[in-house]
Structure 1
Amino acid sequence: MLDWNAFLAAKGAKATADGKVVFPITDFSPEQTYLIPLAQGLIEIKGPDSAKFLQGQVTCDVRELSTKTTRLGAQCNPKGRMLLCFRALQTDAERILLRVGAGLVDKGLASLGKYIVFSKAKLADQSEAYRCLGVAGPNATQIIEQAFGWNIPNNEDWEAAGENLIIRLDENRYECWVIATEAERLWNLISEKAIPANQNHWNLLNIRAGLGDITPETYEAFTPQTINFQLVNGINFRKGCYTGQEIVARLHYRGTLKRHMYRFGFESNQLPVAGSELLNTEGKAIGDVVLAAWASTGKGELLASVVDDERDSLLVPNNPQKLSLLSLPYAIPTSNEAD
């Protein structure tokens, strides 16, 4: 078995300055099906108290994982600011995996580790045990069924194919957490019917789905509501206490949320960086980039957390061009509606 980066390089990926390998960025086509190596890590919580421990730390209701579904969620600091956002999957009664951004595994182990010491559960980095692959496009469901033998009917549900874990995000998009020893075989099998692509295409699909993310650049920058986690089933307001819950609940029940995450189009020769400030036409900072990706040469899309009343007057970072507001697949409440 080759080193994973060496294997991808042999399949046409190119080395980057930071030692990673990526496939060349091409214009995204919704008519194509893509196979994407995802820059993700996996944190394992294992032991008799794994679910009980996690329930007291995160925004989602961990009890729902026992129904063989997955959940988006966040870990917050005591001020309600997001340390991690993740997709959680419970493989059995004593084991839960959190898929997080690769650059936040160590921070996640440290932040969760502060509270787990008195629980009958342990944390571990399982990133090297798995390879995370994305399959996206009109033939995704057919490819998944042929490769793994499963047709998963419901969004966010998962099935196991041996030690491989397959999650349906929607009918055209799947996350595959494949065991490292089978990754090369499965890549070769799937790539016969899907075009290899890089994380940019996956980020673009997340942007169009209105799914924000936390990166090292935005660590502790956002509350869950300011990146719309309440609108994508990432917060359960009835589950009980967790770190930061008082702030998150207050914003929901008592506050008037005046900041949400919106989707924008832009034209530029430089991709905006997560955490970059967005300015209005008067030069005032009234938003921050959450996630950005190229859609075609010189054109891209981004998610930004911005003041609601200023969403029509934003400028691209380091570029005098105005952003264009694009639609999301869910409605954002107005200031007189509850989130």
Structure 2
Amino acid sequence: MHTSWLTAKSYGQLSNQVQGPFIAPLPAFDIISVSGTDKHKYLQSQTTCDLDQLNDDTFLRGAHCDAKGKTWSVFHLLQHHDELLVVAFRDELSASVAQWQKFGVFSKVSFASGQDKFATLGIGGAGAETLVSRLGFKLPGGNGRLSRHNQGAVLQLADEHFMLILPKADAIALLDSDYPLAAPTLWLKQHILHGLCYLEQPLIGEFVPQMLNLQAVDAISFSKGCYLGQETVARMKYLGRNKRAAWILQADTDEAPAAGCDIEQQFNENWRRVGQVINAVNINNQLWLIAVLPNDITPADSLRLKSDSAPALQLLPLPYPLS
């Protein structure tokens, strides 16, 4: 785990047993600042979100695809003074930035690591809004909106589920305060239950955005101008070519499968590979995961994790409709 601002001692004191609202450091999420006169135009041509919809009170959820429409990263993007900040899991952000830098040499745009300036944390749990207010922020007022305080920002990803961007010094000081602090896994469980995901190294470039349900969480604009991979993304929508989606699953097991692990479905007496784990977290021998599976899967289908113990997986309802 990347711990540029979180010490091993601080990390070791975090717990999954916090009841009620909590703040969880997210040291595996990185931030890139994008500057230059062409920053808006360039990212508009590279991502699925519409930067024309960005303002001081909103953030964008989006994806970066390759020319074939396969997803390299799922990110959150916001304005910060004269810069744009892109927040994503470290693996996918590194992959996208490498491509953006490669193809951005002909544009007036530059990319700089934000690790020395900012830290990313999550706020969640029942009553999470009380912590947002306690930190000095106004409530954002809805999914896709943000609130600012001093040099920080809090992004509302879903109900009672927030991402907090703070100056690094403020984040370090927060860890020494009396706020209820939790391990990142507690926030990730909530992220999964909201049907949200990020890409770890084995899955970068494997899925079109609709396989990750990004159209259902306002991460794809179908009305903006051209962008990399748009032809494939549009074909999936208008021609009905997409046959897979991200689903939430749960199991009673001590296993914690890595990204890319196989999921099998029973057909008569045989088991056949039908999908892959995207993100997973195990808390107190309860496994929660989000996985790409056929989009016609139902709770009546028998599913299991492909492993030595092969625990049965229960399909949970998504918190949003698929379209």
Displacement of 1:3: 6.9
Q: Equivalent residue for 2:143?
A: 155
Equivalent of 1:80, from 63, 69, 78?
Answer: 69
Q: Equivalent residue for 1:17?
A: none
Displacement of 1:265: 0.9
Comparing 256-265 and 219-228, the one that deviates more: 256-265
Displacement of 1:204: 0.7
Secondary structure in structure 2 of the residue aligned to 1:284: strand
Q: Equivalent residue for 2:253?
A: 268
1:69 aligns with 2:70: no
Displacement of 1:67: 5.1
Q: Map 1:83-102; keep pairs closer than 5 Å.
A: 83-92=72-81, 94-102=82-90
Q: Map 1:133-212; keep pairs closer than 5 Å.
A: 133-189=121-177, 192-194=178-180, 196-212=181-197
- Amino acid in the other structure paired with 2:29: Q
The TM-score, its normalising length taken from structure 2, stands at 0.90
Secondary structure in structure 2 of the residue aligned to 1:248: helix
* C-alpha distance in 1 between matches for 2:199 and 2:263: 17
Secondary structure in structure 2 of the residue aligned to 1:188: coil
1:4 aligns with 2:38: no
Contact 2:263/2:306, CA 8 A, preserved across alignment: yes
Q: Equivalent residue for 1:257?
A: 242
1:277 aligns with 2:278: no
Displacement of 1:310: 4.5
* C-alpha distance in 1 between matches for 2:211 and 2:24: 28
Deviations 1:32-52 (A, max 9, x none): 111101120011111111111
Displacement of 1:201: 1.1
- Amino acid in the other structure paired with 1:249: A
Comparing 153-162 and 213-222, the one that deviates more: 153-162
Contact 1:263/1:302, CA 8 A, preserved across alignment: yes
Q: Equivalent residue for 1:23?
A: 14
Comparing 123-132 and 163-172, the one that deviates more: 163-172
Deviations 1:193-219 (A, max 9, x none): 42x222211111111100121111211
* C-alpha distance in 2 between matches for 1:148 and 1:72: 24
Q: Equivalent residue for 1:44?
A: 33
Structure 1's unaligned 5+ residue stretches are 15-21, 333-338
The TM-score, its normalising length taken from structure 1, stands at 0.86
Equivalent of 1:327, from 314, 317, 320?
Answer: 317
Contact 2:254/2:287, CA 8 A, preserved across alignment: no
Number of equivalenced pairs: 314
- Amino acid in the other structure paired with 1:81: K
Deviations 1:243-269 (A, max 9, x none): 111011111111332211111111222
Q: Aligned-residue CA RMSD in angstroms?
A: 2.0
* C-alpha distance in 2 between matches for 1:212 and 1:185: 29
Structure 2's unaligned 5+ residue stretches are none
Identity %: 27
